[in-house]
Structure 1
Amino acid sequence: MNRLSDQHFGRTGAGSELVPVDERRRVLQHRIDLAKDKLVADLSRASTLLRQSAASARSSVRRGFIRAAIVTAGIVWLGLVATAVRRHRRLHARWK
């Protein structure tokens, strides 16, 4: 990750020495890291929920298609039965 070093080097006076860590900056960096981790976890959870909802939608569409096919087949079957019954009645009526 893009992190600033926890320790800053600088020159003070004639020699170089270690400058103390800025506590506020360290706390802020820690809070940023926690926020990044939380964002990654939230994005992961959102991705999982999206995949689950897509799978549910596919399943729902599939069930709807099967139901529509069954209803259509039932209507066609009833139409064929009604047609056969009507023809039988007409033929029977003509012969009398």
Structure 2
Amino acid sequence: MGTFFINLDQAVGNNRLPILPFLPSGNPLVQSIHTIGVTAAIQDQQSTRYDIFVSLKQAGQPQPLPTPSVPPTAPPTPNLKGQNP
């Protein structure tokens, strides 16, 4: 049984936790996560329960999607057996 919690903003952003070299501070995945929490509990002799909590950072306002550069095409219609096109 146990609990693990890490605030990635403080641990990676300020280089306070030098044991995290696999999490570069410029990584977009790391930049989008605020905190991670894990709790483990033994339920019986054959199973262990893990609760994982990931807190994501709030993003800014979404921007409109760009205009497609290639016009969309209609997908081909399937030719069913026994039917003539």
Q: Which TM-score band applies after superposition, normalised by the shorter structure?
A: under 0.3
Q: Which has the higher contact order (CA 8 A, sep 6+)?
A: 2
Greater strand share, structure number: 2
Which of these two proteins has the greater Rg computed from alpha carbons?
1
TM-score, normalised to structure 2, is 0.18
